[in-house]
């Protein structure tokens, strides 16, 4: 009897610890922290729009953000290794880092002649020794209870070869509105134990975590050639095509950029208002350049993009009648709707929905959406088209026998018809 009670208590304790396990997300916890980006370090300007994914022992990432303040603060960074589901793994810090796991952010600079003063910070991630999911935790004054932001990134190894493509869906329903991702995975380079059950394949669209999909069992396993095929018929590898993203051009403060109605410069701030948008669910598909929901800091009037760009209060306008729900502005700059200011409010004088956000000069992609129990629904405002150019990423995770963490053994960025600024 005592043994049964002990076993029951052990199971209850284990169940509680699992359910209470923290899940890390991309979050910014303070309003004064703005323009947060994490991307592969490169000399190319377009790198700031790339996904924070690097190969093990090859390359590092650059974390950059602004603190709207007159004087610099002391920020520290901790690196946490995570499982497939973004809970902390069982690895100890010395098992994935060769350095003490607290890094001071020493690279910072003052803004130059801007109406809103800010301090611009840069941090280069340390090299890690294991593949998988990671989170950067940035906190103030070496006090880990004063977290200002968390940011996810991924480190992969080229252990399994992968091929993927966008194809017409297997299901005829919504055939002209959705995109299906078929995947072939070859694991000849390494013996994998029970890959059917120990592999997890995840796909996400346009660097969004809220619409990521974990695939079920492969449709075919070829033991002789060590090949797995994912050509599923259950819809788990199907995404709504959506539409090309709307955008505002905020690269100017002394002139109007594209889709900007007016700009007004005051002594302490710059105001701007976007043109009035309208829903487009039934329109004809139109192809044009976009950044798949990302944003980039750019300034065409001064030389230094990061330190000389102004912060602007930008009002977005949406004219839509008889809405039964509140619309939101969705894009990387609103943390895909998690930013409180992304929620729009009806202005009864103009009969338009409005939201005002503080944005640094640059180029910003966005769409409109409703919040539902199943996530964001953009179809009512944007429509869905199979022809839409989207960015897809495929991640393959593997948990070896008796291992204490999930390896990221393959990664593929699928953007067959890339059209970027």
Q: Are residues 166 and 269 in the same domain?
A: no
Domain end (from 156, 178, 199): 156
Residue 360 within a domain: yes
At 391, list the tokens.
């960015």
C-alpha span between 132 and 399 (Å, rounded): 10
Q: Are residues 82 and 36 in the same domain?
A: yes
Domain end (from 127, 156, 185): 156
Residue 140 within a domain: yes
Q: Are residues 176 and 301 in the same domain?
A: no
Calculate the dihedral angle through the C-alpha atoms of 350, 351, 353, 354, rounding to the nearest 10 degrees. 10
Residue 174 within a domain: yes
C-alpha span between 177 and 235 (Å, rounded): 13
Domain end (from 156, 177, 197): 156
- The range of the structural domain enclosing residue 368 comes to 246-382
Residue 421 within a domain: no
Asked if residues 52 and 18 have their Cβ atoms less than 8 Å apart, the reply is: no
Residue 394: C-alpha distances to residues 61, 68, 254, 257, 412 (Å): 19, 36, 42, 35, 5
Residue 2 within a domain: no
Written as tens digits, the pLDDT of the chain (421 aa) is: 444 434 333 443 433 333 346 999 999 999 999 999 999 998 788 889 999 999 999 989 999 999 999 999 999 999 999 999 999 999 999 999 999 999 999 999 999 999 999 999 999 999 999 999 999 999 999 899 999 999 999 999 999 999 999 988 877 678 889 999 999 999 998 888 888 889 999 999 999 999 999 998 899 988 888 899 998 877 789 999 999 999 999 999 999 999 999 999 999 999 999 999 999 998 888 888 899 999 999 999 998 999 999 999 999 999 999 898 999 999 999 999 999 999 999 999 999 999 999 999 999 999 999 999 888 999 999 999 999 999 999 999 999 988 999 999 999 999 855 655 5
- CB atoms under 10 Å from CB of 223, counted, come to 7
One-character DSSP codes across 84-132: TTSSB-S--HHHHBSS-S-EE--EEEE-SS-SS--EEEEEEPPPBSS-E
Q: Are residues 261 and 361 in the same domain?
A: yes
Q: Are residues 145 and 62 in the same domain?
A: yes
Q: Are residues 137 and 124 in the same domain?
A: yes
Residue 188 within a domain: yes
At 115, list the tokens.
């109406």
Q: Are residues 344 and 313 in the same domain?
A: yes
pTM: predicted TM-score of the whole model, two decimal places: 0.91
Residue 48 within a domain: yes
> Which CATH number is 188's domain given?
2.60.40.10
Q: How many domains does the chain have?
A: 3
Q: Are residues 364 and 378 in the same domain?
A: yes
Residue 262 within a domain: yes
Q: How many CA atoms lie within 13 A of 231 on its CB side?
A: 10
C-alpha span between 64 and 52 (Å, rounded): 12
């Amino acid at each position: 009897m005592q043994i049964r009670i002990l076993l029951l208590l052990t199971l209850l304790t284990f169940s509680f610890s699992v359910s209470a396990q923290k899940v890390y997300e991309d979050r910014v916890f303070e309003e004064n922290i703005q323009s947060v980006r994490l991307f592969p370090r490169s000399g190319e300007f377009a790198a700031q729009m790339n996904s924070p994914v690097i190969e093990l022992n090859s390359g590092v990432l650059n974390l950059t953000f602004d603190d709207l303040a007159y004087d610099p603060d002391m920020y520290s960074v901790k690196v946490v290794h995570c499982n497939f589901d973004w809970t902390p793994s069982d690895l100890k810090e010395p098992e994935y880092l060769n350095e003490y796991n607290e890094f001071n952010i020493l690279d910072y600079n003052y803004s130059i002649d801007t109406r809103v003063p800010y301090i611009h910070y840069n941090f280069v991630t340390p090299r890690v020794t294991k593949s998988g999911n990671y989170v950067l935790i940035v906190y103030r004054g070496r006090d880990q209870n004063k977290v200002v932001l968390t940011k996810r990134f991924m480190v992969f190894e080229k252990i399994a070869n992968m091929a993927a493509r966008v194809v017409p869906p297997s299901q005829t329903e919504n055939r002209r509105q959705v995109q299906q991702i078929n995947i072939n995975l070859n694991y000849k380079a390494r013996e994998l134990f029970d890959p059917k059950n120990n592999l997890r394949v995840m796909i996400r669209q346009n660097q969004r975590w809220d619409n990521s999909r974990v695939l079920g069992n492969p449709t075919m396993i070829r033991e002789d050639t060590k090949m797995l095929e994912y050509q599923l018929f259950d819809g788990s590898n199907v995404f709504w095509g959506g539409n090309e993203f709307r955008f505002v051009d905020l690269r100017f403060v002394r002139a109007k950029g594209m889709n900007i109605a007016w700009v007004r410069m005051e002594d302490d701030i710059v105001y701007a208002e976007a043109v009035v948008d309208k829903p487009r669910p039934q329109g004809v598909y139109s192809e044009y350049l976009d950044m798949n929901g990302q944003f980039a800091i750019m300034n065409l009037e001064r030389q230094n993009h990061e330190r000389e760009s102004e912060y602007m209060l930008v009002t977005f306008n949406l004219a839509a009648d008889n809405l039964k729900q509140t619309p939101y502005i969705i894009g990387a700059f609103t943390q895909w709707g998690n930013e409180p200011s992304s929620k729009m409010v009806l202005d009864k004088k103009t009969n338009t929905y409005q939201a005002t956000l503080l944005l640094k000069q640059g180029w910003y992609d966005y769409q409109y959406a409703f919040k539902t129990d199943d996530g964001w629904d953009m179809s009512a405002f944007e429509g869905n088209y199979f022809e839409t150019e989207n960015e897809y990423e495929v991640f393959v995770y593997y948990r070896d026998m008796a291992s204490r963490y999930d390896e990221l053994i393959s990664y593929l960025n699928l953007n067959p018809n890339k059209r970027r600024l």
